[in-house]
A and B are shown apart, each in its own frame.
Chain A
């Protein structure tokens, strides 16, 4: 049911002239993708600095909260640019992207990374006063930072893998792959 709704939405987006224009333009799509990659440098770069501090591997003489608070704003600016450019990339090729197993995994990892960031922040705000000046933060904070880097690495690799057509619906795949990718028509044909 959800797959049908998502596919209908993707087809509606695909029918819009702006979607086609971005997809078929010689330079616009490339520039949007370049912006997406460059904003990754801003967002993920800032995130790396924060997580390395939380792991005790960088800026160990600076209070952890100082690094987290000061880098939060540029990190969120990078994230906003990444989100807008990411949506435009999806908008340009909505049907194939909706039925991409890589895109679906990326969205799940993004949600998990978001939950981890939320819990991490809550944990940090609740206890920062007790370890803020410690060169190496407590284990639970280090685990959160490590998990953050791991989840974002997953987001990067699955994001990059969207370009590969190994598991596209048009290919001959096991039923479970059609199900995971939401290949509605192929699943119907299979049955």
Chain B
């Protein structure tokens, strides 16, 4: 499926007009993108390091996952909303940018992983799960989200 029309539409949208006309707006929105990333990254790390039994060992992992998941969603929403705005400024350039495609693939993998695998799997009692399952989920999660962040930074370099 060719997404060219979508990028073309984004390039001529009102968002693109605003982001292209005011460089300062782009910088401020980018700050929200980075803060959303930090919030999301913090929640991923705290949750996953608890599953790996490295951090907050004296707290039940169910409680840590429950508390971090809510704010993970907030961080992800901020990141996606600000990301759409930022993409509109350079939509046609991004269409041809392989690192952007890599980031979108990693992001889609991350969202599916969190909402289709991690969340349902960790919804119940963690003691009923094989410890290796918890470790694999945690390591996979950290790897996916660090890939999303790193590939995002490399969009600017490629």
A residues in contact (CB < 8 Å) with B:
30, 33-34, 37-38, 40-42, 44-49, 52, 58-59, 61-62, 66-67, 70-71, 74, 153, 156-157, 160-161, 164, 166
Q: Is B149 an interface residue (CB 8 A)?
A: yes
Interface SS majority for chain B = helix
Chief secondary structure at chain A's binding surface: helix
**B contact residues around A71 at 8 Å (CB):** 46, 55-56
Q: Are A34 and B153 touching (Cβ within 8 A)?
A: yes
Give, as a whole number of angstroms, the nearest-CB distance from B156 to chain A.
Answer: 9
Q: Taking the complex as formed, is B117 at the interface, i.e. its CB lies under 8 A from any CB of chain A?
A: no
Closest to A41 in B: B41
Classify chain B's interface size. Answer: 20 to 34
Query: What is the total of A-B residue contacts with beta carbons within 8 Å?
Result: 98
With beta carbons under 8 angstroms apart, the residue of A44, A59, A66 that contacts B67 is A59
- Which of B22-30, B108-116, B118-126, B131-139 has 4 or more CB atoms under 8 Å from chain A? B22-30
Provide the residues of chain B in CB contact with A160, threshold 8 Å. 27, 30-31, 34
Nearest-neighbor residue (CB-CB) of B42 within chain A = A45
Complex formed: what's the CA distance from A7 to B153 in Å? 30
Asked if B45 contacts A46 (CB within 8 A), the reply is: yes
**Which residues of chain A have C-beta atoms less than 8 A from B23's C-beta?**
164, 166
Do B45 and A58 touch (CB < 8 A)?
A: no
Closest A residue to B64 by CB, please name it. Answer: A59
Q: Which of A44, A49, A157 contacts B28 (CB 8 A)?
A: A157
Q: A49-B43, A156-B35 are in contact. List 11 more A-B contacts (CB 8 A).
A: A30-B154, A34-B154, A38-B150, A41-B42, A42-B45, A48-B43, A49-B68, A58-B71, A70-B56, A71-B55, A156-B34
